[in-house]
Structure 1
Amino acid sequence: MILTDCHTHTQFSVDSEADIDLCVQRAAELGLAAYAITDHCECNGWYKEEHYPEKERYLRESFDYAADFEGSVSAVTALKEKWAGKLNLICGVELGQILQDTDAAKIVNADKRVDFIIGSVHQVMGEQDFYFIDYEKMTMDEIYDLLERYFKEVYEVSKTDFFDVLGHLTYCLRYMKQRNDINADISRFDDIIAEIFRNLALNGKGIEINTSGLRQGFGDCFPNLKYTKMYRDMGGEIITVGSDSHTVEDIAANSADGIGVARAAGFSRIAYFKKRKPYFIDIT
C-alpha cells in the first residue's frame, strides 16, 4: 500500500522534541509517497509575550510563533534540496486560530516557501487550548456550550482562504474523553458541521483524516467515518491523511487505517500538496 503522512511535528513545534533530520530519515526509510512537516504556528501567539495584555497571557500555551515558523520553514526548505529525488518532502505548517489574528495568517499564506497549510482550531476564542481545560469542573451544559462555540469558529474559518485542508475536525473531543471518559454527543451539531463541509467543498478545500486518536486512547480518527462520509456527501473531494506525530517513531502511524477510512467513505484517492496545489494518489 502506498502511504503518506501529511501532518507531522518536529523540534520546531513547542510540544515536540523530534529531531528534524531524524524525522526526514525515518520518512525516507518508510518509503512514504509524500511526507509533510507541519510544525505548529498559532496565529494568536504570533508575537512575543510582551505584545499581549498580561491578563490574557494565560490563554496562550506559548509565544513568538513567528520565530518557530521561520525556523521550521527554513530548515525544511534546506532539507528539500538535500533530499531532492530521494523523498517527496513537503514544507507545511499547521496554522492554528486563524481568525484570532488574520494578519499573522496572511504573512504565512504569502510565504512562497510553504507548500501546504493545515487550518486548525485548538482553542476557542477567549478559552484555553482544549488540552488545558479541566473538564471535571464543567457541567455537560457548559461542555456543549464550549463545543457549540468551537464549531461556530470552525464554520467561520471554513469560509476563509487561509488554508488548504481543515485539521482534525473533532479534536475538541480528544482530551475530555481520554482523561475524563466524557463522551459528548456532537450529533446535535451535525447541521453546522454539514455547512462547514459545504463551505470547504465550494472553496476547493479539503479535510484531513488525523489518525492520532487511534494510538492515543481516543479509539478513532479525527474525524471518524461518519463525518468523512458527510464531507463527501457535501461535495468534498480532497482528503489528506496525517499521523499528527510528535516523535520520530510515530511518523505514518496508522496511515493505512486512515486510508481505510477514506476508502470506506467512498473516496478513491487521497491527496498531498505542493506549492498549495493538490496532487492525488489512487487508493482503489
Structure 2
Amino acid sequence: MRLMDCHTHTQFSMDSEADIDLCVKRAAELGLAAYAISDHCECNGWYEKEHYPEETWELLDYYNYRADFESSVSAVTALKEKWAGKLNLICGVELGQILHDTDAAKTANADSRVDFIIGSVHQVMGEKDFYFIEYDKMTMDEIYGLLERYFKEVYALSKTELFDVVGHITYCLRYMKQRHGINADISRYDDIIAETFRNLAQNGKGIEINTSGLRQGFGDCFPNLKYAKLFRDMGGEIISFGSDSHIVEDIGANIADGMRIARAAGFTRGAYFKKRKPYFIDIE
C-alpha cells in the first residue's frame, strides 16, 4: 500500500518540538508517496496579543501565528528544493478558525508557496479550544449545545473557498472522551453534517481521515467509517489522510488503517495537493 501523510507538525507549531529536518528524513525513510508539513496557523491569533481586545485574551494561549506561518512555509520551501526527486514534499498549513478572521485566511491562501490548506475548527466563536474545555463541569445539555455550535461553524466553513480539505471532523469529541469518558451521540447532527459534506463535494473540497485518535486513546479516526461513508454518499471524491503527528516517531502512524476505512466507505483513491490542485493515489 502506497502511504501518504498530509497532516503533520514540526518545530514551527506551538505544540510541537519536532525537528523539521528529522521529520523530512523520517518521511523519506518511510517511503511516503506524499508528505505534507502542515504547521498550525490559527487565524484568530494571526497578530500579536496586543492587537486583540483584552477581554478575549483568555480564549487563546498563543498569538502571532503569522510569524510561525512565515517560518514554516519558508523552511518547507527550502526543503522542497533540497529533497527534489527524493521525496514528494508538500508545503501545507493547518488554518484554524478561518471564519474568525477571513482576512488572515485570505493572506495565507494568497501565498503562492503554499500547496495545501487544511481548514480546521479547534474552537468555536467565544470559546476556548476544545482541548482546554472542562467538560466535567458541564451538563450534557451544555455539551450538546457546544457540539451544535461546532457543527454549525463547520457547515459555514464548508461554504467558503479558503481551504482544500476540512481537518479532523469530529475533533470536538476527542478530549471529552479521552479525559472524561463522555461519549456524546452526534447522530442528532447528521443532517447538518450531511449538508456540510454536500457543500464540500459540490465545491470540489474534501475531508481528511485523521488517524491520531487510534494512538491517543480515542479508539477511532476523525471521522470514523460512518461519516467517511456519509461524505462519499453526499458525492465526496477528495479524501486525504493525516497522522496529525507532533513528534517524528508518529509520522505515518496508522495511515494504513485510515486508508482501509476510506476503502470500506467506497473510496478507491486518496488525494494530496500540489499548488492547491488535487492529485490522486489508488487505495489498494
Which position in structure 2 is the counterpart of 1:22?
22
Which position in structure 2 is the counterpart of 1:36?
36
Aligned residues of 1:43 and 1:105 also touching (Cα < 8 A): yes
Per mean C-alpha deviation after superposition, the further-off stretch among 209-218 and 57-66 is: 57-66
The Cα offsets for residues 22-80 of structure 1, whole Å up to 9 and x where unpaired, read as 00000000000000000000000000010011111110131000000000000000000
| Structure 2 counterparts to residues 147-158 of structure 1, below 5 A | 147-158=147-158
Between the aligned partners of 2:209 and 2:153, the Cα distance in structure 1 is 20
Aligned residue for 1:194, secondary structure, equals: helix
The Cα offsets for residues 224-267 of structure 1, whole Å up to 9 and x where unpaired, read as 00000000000000010000000000000001000000000010
Aligned residues of 1:61 and 1:129 also touching (Cα < 8 A): no
Aligned residue for 1:249, secondary structure, equals: helix
Between the aligned partners of 2:182 and 2:162, the Cα distance in structure 1 is 32
Between the aligned partners of 2:95 and 2:50, the Cα distance in structure 1 is 21
Aligned residue for 2:197, secondary structure, equals: helix
Which position in structure 2 is the counterpart of 1:90?
90
Q: Give, as a single letter, the amino acid of the residue that structure 1 aligns with 2:212.
A: S
Which position in structure 1 is the counterpart of 2:6?
6
1:262 aligns with 2:262: yes
| Structure 2 counterparts to residues 132-171 of structure 1, below 5 A | 132-171=132-171
Between the aligned partners of 1:56 and 1:282, the Cα distance in structure 2 is 46
Between the aligned partners of 2:247 and 2:225, the Cα distance in structure 1 is 26
| Structure 2 counterparts to residues 160-239 of structure 1, below 5 A | 160-239=160-239
Which position in structure 1 is the counterpart of 2:242?
242
The Cα offsets for residues 186-210 of structure 1, whole Å up to 9 and x where unpaired, read as 0000000000000000000000000
Between the aligned partners of 1:58 and 1:14, the Cα distance in structure 2 is 17
Q: Give, as a single letter, the amino acid of the residue that structure 2 aligns with 1:230.
A: L
Q: Give, as a single letter, the amino acid of the residue that structure 2 aligns with 1:132.
A: F
Aligned residue for 1:104, secondary structure, equals: helix
Aligned residues of 1:8 and 1:246 also touching (Cα < 8 A): yes
Which position in structure 1 is the counterpart of 2:109?
109
Structure 2 spans left out of the alignment, 5+ residues: none
Which position in structure 1 is the counterpart of 2:66?
66
The Cα offsets for residues 78-128 of structure 1, whole Å up to 9 and x where unpaired, read as 000000000000000000000000000000000000000000000000000
Between the aligned partners of 2:195 and 2:174, the Cα distance in structure 1 is 22
Between the aligned partners of 1:202 and 1:55, the Cα distance in structure 2 is 39
Q: Give, as a single letter, the amino acid of the residue that structure 1 aligns with 2:156.
A: E
Q: How large is the Cα RMSD of the aligned pairs?
A: 0.4
Q: Which consecutive aligned stretches of 4+ in structure 1 deviate over 6 angstroms post-superposition?
A: none
Between the aligned partners of 1:51 and 1:189, the Cα distance in structure 2 is 36
Between the aligned partners of 2:175 and 2:109, the Cα distance in structure 1 is 30
Aligned residue for 2:228, secondary structure, equals: helix
Q: Give, as a single letter, the amino acid of the residue that structure 2 aligns with 1:252.
A: G
Aligned residue for 2:241, secondary structure, equals: strand
Q: Give, as a single letter, the amino acid of the residue that structure 2 aligns with 1:186.
A: I
Between the aligned partners of 2:197 and 2:127, the Cα distance in structure 1 is 24
Between the aligned partners of 2:236 and 2:55, the Cα distance in structure 1 is 41
Size of the aligned set, in residue pairs, is 284
- Quote how far apart the aligned CAs of 1:283 are: 1.1
Q: Give, as a single letter, the amino acid of the residue that structure 1 aligns with 2:265.
A: A
Q: Give, as a single letter, the amino acid of the residue that structure 1 aligns with 2:116.
A: F
Between the aligned partners of 1:222 and 1:131, the Cα distance in structure 2 is 15
The Cα offsets for residues 107-162 of structure 1, whole Å up to 9 and x where unpaired, read as 00000000000000000000000000000100000000000000000000000000
Between the aligned partners of 2:154 and 2:263, the Cα distance in structure 1 is 25
Aligned residue for 1:280, secondary structure, equals: strand
Q: Give, as a single letter, the amino acid of the residue that structure 2 aligns with 1:123.
A: Q
